[in-house]
């Protein structure tokens, strides 16, 4: 909840009386106005910066820059990629002055169902002890239940499970054996991924985008080369979003997929 203009004005007076020491001003303000809600030092610093910048204690209206991915911007981005194929979206955004988020916003503006065709994926590691954070595990009783939780084993193991969801379909799960490296994930993309999406309807495959969370195995050189050659599209800094050419993948792996199914 925002402070009133009267409260903000009082804070400015207190900040001035404390020679702009916001940490001290927060304590003085609490002592002088015990019945009011008390701001912390960071809130007072923001107020001081806003007052010095605008000359007013009033809150500034939030304005959001709207950037449209028009034909001119699209051409400029394409030329930048041709000139430097390994350029990042961050560098493109900085050099061309185009917001990184404008691409997704433009896709949604053109097709309100765009997110339904994004294959969102992630991995999760399951350990033998079953609990990663013991702060989330409680046992309540009126008396001491003497509950014992075993969380250390002489021989421990873990499983890395990959899964995804697109439209109304769950993809996977796929269990990785051992540590997931760039080469292991590359083998997964080539050999297992086509099998996992084989059951999807064509109307989804034709419009589907693949999203990866930018984990180190996703960003290794051999994986990025494979994505560049087979999944042409947009790549984001530490977050890969590429549009797969699923027909080509299905043709390359069609015999293996039929044998597996």
Looking at the structure, tell me whether residues 147 and 95 fall in a common domain: no
pLDDT, tens digit (0-9, with 9 covering 90-100), for 188-230: 999 999 999 999 998 888 888 888 877 888 878 888 888 877 7
Q: Does residue 198 belong to any structural domain of this protein? A: yes
Indicate if the alpha-carbon torsion angle 199, 201, 204, 207 is positive or negative.
positive
Looking at the structure, tell me whether residues 115 and 206 fall in a common domain: yes
DSSP-derived 3-state class of residue 37: coil
pLDDT band at 143 (very low <50, low <70, confident <90, very high): confident
Average pLDDT over the chain reads: 77
The pLDDT, as a whole number, for residue 229 is 78
Looking at the structure, tell me whether residues 72 and 161 fall in a common domain: no
The pLDDT, as a whole number, for residue 102 is 56
Q: Does residue 238 belong to any structural domain of this protein? A: yes
Residues 131, 149 contacting (CB under 8 angstroms): yes
Q: Does residue 59 belong to any structural domain of this protein? A: no
Looking at the structure, tell me whether residues 19 and 130 fall in a common domain: no
Residues 242, 209 contacting (CB under 8 angstroms): yes
Q: What is the CATH number of the domain that holds 214?
A: 3.30.420.10
The pLDDT, as a whole number, for residue 209 is 84
The pLDDT, as a whole number, for residue 83 is 80
pLDDT band at 32 (very low <50, low <70, confident <90, very high): very high
The pLDDT, as a whole number, for residue 192 is 95
- Domains of the chain: total: 3
Contacts 24+ apart (CB under 8 A), 230-233: 233/209
Looking at the structure, tell me whether residues 46 and 170 fall in a common domain: no
The pLDDT, as a whole number, for residue 246 is 34
- Residue 188, C-beta contacts closer than 8 angstroms, at least 6 positions apart: 162, 174, 176
Looking at the structure, tell me whether residues 232 and 210 fall in a common domain: yes
* Cα 11 to Cα 29: distance, rounded to the nearest angstrom: 7
* Mean pLDDT within 154-170: 85
* Cα 121 to Cα 26: distance, rounded to the nearest angstrom: 45
Q: Does residue 119 belong to any structural domain of this protein? A: yes
Percent of the chain with pLDDT over 70: 72
Q: Does residue 25 belong to any structural domain of this protein? A: yes
The pLDDT, as a whole number, for residue 151 is 60
Backbone torsions φ then ψ of 239, nearest 5 degrees: -140, 105
* Cα 191 to Cα 179: distance, rounded to the nearest angstrom: 17
Indicate if the alpha-carbon torsion angle 197, 201, 207, 211 is positive or negative.
negative
From 86, 101, 3, select the one nearest 50 (Cα to Cα).
Answer: 3
Parent domain of 48: 5-54
In this model, does residue 179 exceed pLDDT 70? yes
Return the structure tokens found at 88: 């990042």
pLDDT, tens digit (0-9, with 9 covering 90-100), for 63-114: 554 455 567 777 887 788 778 766 777 777 778 777 655 566 777 777 888 8
Looking at the structure, tell me whether residues 254 and 173 fall in a common domain: yes
Looking at the structure, tell me whether residues 247 and 218 fall in a common domain: yes
Q: Does residue 28 belong to any structural domain of this protein? A: yes
Residues 212, 240 contacting (CB under 8 angstroms): yes
Least confident of 91-95, 160-164, 176-180, 187-191: 91-95
In this model, does residue 139 exceed pLDDT 90? no
In this model, does residue 38 exceed pLDDT 70? yes
Looking at the structure, tell me whether residues 40 and 101 fall in a common domain: no
SS3 breakdown of the chain: % helix, strand, coil, rounded to 5? Answer: 45, 15, 40
Q: Does residue 184 belong to any structural domain of this protein? A: yes
Looking at the structure, tell me whether residues 16 and 85 fall in a common domain: no
In this model, does residue 164 exceed pLDDT 90? yes
Looking at the structure, tell me whether residues 125 and 250 fall in a common domain: yes
More confident residue, 69 or 246: 69
In this model, does residue 250 exceed pLDDT 50? no
Looking at the structure, tell me whether residues 159 and 210 fall in a common domain: yes
pLDDT band at 234 (very low <50, low <70, confident <90, very high): very low
Q: Does residue 123 belong to any structural domain of this protein? A: yes
From 123, 129, 121, 183, select the one nearest 158 (Cα to Cα).
Answer: 129
H/E element, 12: helix 5-17
């Amino acid at each position: 909840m925002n402070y009133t203009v009267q409260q903000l004005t009082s804070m400015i007076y207190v900040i001035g009386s404390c020679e702009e020491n916001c940490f001290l001003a927060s304590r003085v303000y609490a002592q002088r106005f015990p019945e009011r809600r008390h701001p912390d030092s960071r809130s007072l610093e923001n107020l001081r910066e806003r007052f010095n910048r605008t000359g007013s204690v009033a809150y500034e209206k939030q304005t959001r820059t709207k950037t449209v991915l028009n034909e001119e911007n699209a051409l400029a981005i394409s030329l930048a990629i041709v000139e430097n194929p390994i350029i990042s979206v961050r560098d493109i955004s900085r050099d061309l002055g185009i917001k990184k988020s404008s691409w997704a916003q433009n896709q949604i503006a053109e097709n309100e169902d765009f997110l339904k065709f994004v294959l969102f994926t992630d991995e999760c590691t399951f350990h033998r002890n079953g609990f990663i954070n013991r702060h989330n595990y409680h046992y309540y009783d009126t008396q001491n239940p003497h509950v014992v939780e075993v969380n250390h084993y002489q021989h421990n193991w873990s499983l890395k499970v990959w899964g995804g969801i697109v439209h109304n379909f769950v993809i996977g799960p796929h269990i990785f054996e051992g540590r997931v490296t760039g080469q292991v994930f590359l083998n997964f993309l080539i050999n297992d991924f086509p099998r996992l999406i084989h059951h999807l309807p064509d109307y989804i495959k034709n419009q589907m985008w693949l999203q990866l969370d930018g984990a180190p195995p996703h960003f290794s050189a051999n994986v990025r080369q494979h994505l560049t050659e087979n999944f042409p599209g947009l790549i984001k800094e530490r977050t890969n979003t590429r549009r797969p050419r699923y027909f080509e993948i299905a043709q390359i792996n069609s015999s293996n997929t039929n044998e597996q199914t």
